[in-house]
Structure 1
Amino acid sequence: MAKQLAFYFEQKHCVGCKTCQIACKDKNNLAVGQLFRRVSEQEGGTYEKRGAAVIPRRVYAFWLSISCNHCVNPACVEHCPTAALQKRAADGIVHIDQERCIGCQTCIKYCPYGAPQFNPDTNKVGKCDFCRDLLAEGKEPVCVSSCPVRTLGYGTLDELREKYGALNQTKGLPNATITQPALVITPHRHAISG
């Protein structure tokens, strides 16, 4: 593989506005219930009761913005019975050949990130394709270009790791050793120690 494209997520500054999620949904004209990028809140903390009062202790909230992570070892590709899911050799983008997809949803079962989404109208599965069409025009993926706080970015996995470190999982995400996601995260302070 020439290079592995990856997403960068600066979690510590994400405000959970869901602009990336909406931009992706609009660009891909997704049906109700389908999301190729999802933003979710993670919260926690403790409290102490003093008589009738409840005193919060170390209460926190942070957000996750997750799409397909175009994993180094994608379980969806490995288990697709028709080879509809493919990993491009040139850049590591995992995409679905809609002509080959039979809608069996095996990829949904094996993806730990919930990236593949079944469309009951077409009886096929779709997912983030890293905005291949925009990349071909020299543009950024729509989730990256739409983020008002600039918490999303992309580049090659090696460059992102060199610049930001190699962290690719935080609270709320599955164990990264399962598929080795092409994702680099600058975490919220409670996403690691929480």
Structure 2
Amino acid sequence: MQLGFYFDASACTGCKTCVIACKDRHDHPVGVNFRRVMHHEGGRWEPHPARPGVWTPQVYAYSISVSCNHCAAPVCMEVCPAGAIRKNEHGLVLVDQELCLGCRLCKSCPYDAPQFNEKRGVMTLCDGCAGDAQPACVAACPQRALAFGDIGALKTKHGAVSGIEPLPDPRLTLPSLVITPHRHSPLSRDPS
């Protein structure tokens, strides 16, 4: 079974309660954030459907809560010279801190998921709040915009979208992430 996250961009208000809950649960130092909230805005001009020659602006803004996506093809694991990053039996990408050299090559993750703990001199990653009934970020979200579980079941329930702007193209790492896009969310762009 591959575990993963579901994120509902149409429900997220950008309050960052998920970020605070994660920091509190893991007692992260300043600068270390397993979960981050990004804000994305943009727009485009579209022809007015009923008025030929008239263009109307379609402006959008939304928030995105992102953490380690426990990817099927994790770049961080691929580049680690010590073999300190591995996938466990549930598909979670984890750092063996005894093997970690602290070289930070795993920061090549396009989601910026691996976090360097200066105090301990090692990289750290979201572990899905191992041992808890559910991750702290999921439990804390007041909008219920996050869920965690079997990625197959999450895809069956919510669809297969796994990339919206400004996230990288999901074909790069095959993230264990399902997203319900905001109504104006453009999908992630092809990197080529």
TM over 0.5, yes or no? Answer: yes
1:51 aligns with none
1:14 aligns with 12
2:150 aligns with 156
Letter in 2 for 1:93: L
Structure 1 residues 44-69: Cα deviation after superposition (integer angstroms, max 9, x where no partner): 1269xxxxxxxx93222101100000
C-alpha distance in 2, partners of 1:91/1:193? 28
The sequence identity of aligned pairs, in percent, is: 48
Letter in 2 for 1:167: V
1:105 aligns with 104
C-alpha distance in 2, partners of 1:166/1:147? 22
2:26 aligns with 28
- Unmatched tracts of structure 2, length 5 or more: 46-55
Runs of at least 4 residues of structure 1 off by over 4 A?
none
Counting only pairs closer than 5 Å after superposition, residues 73-152 of structure 1 correspond to structure 2 as 73-88=73-88, 90-109=89-108, 111-134=109-132, 139-152=133-146
For residue 36 of structure 2, the aligned residue among 35, 38, 51 is 38
**Greater displacement, 147-156 / 75-84:** 75-84
TM-score by length of 2: 0.88
Asked if the contact 2:163–2:187 (Cα under 8 Å) also holds between the matched residues in 1, the reply is no
Asked if the contact 2:164–2:187 (Cα under 8 Å) also holds between the matched residues in 1, the reply is no
C-alpha distance in 1, partners of 2:38/2:154? 23
TM-score by length of 1: 0.87
Q: 1:58 to 1:193 in 2, by over 3 A?
A: farther
Letter in 2 for 1:147: C
Letter in 1 for 2:171: T
Structure 1 residues 27-83: Cα deviation after superposition (integer angstroms, max 9, x where no partner): 111111111000011011269xxxxxxxx9322210110000000111111211111
Which one has the bigger helix percentage? Answer: 1
Asked if the contact 2:128–2:134 (Cα under 8 Å) also holds between the matched residues in 1, the reply is no
The alignment of Structure 1 onto Structure 2 pairs a total of residues equal to 178
Structure 1 residues 109-153: Cα deviation after superposition (integer angstroms, max 9, x where no partner): 2x110000112221111111111121xxxx111110000110000
The 3-state SS of whatever aligns with 2:185 is: helix
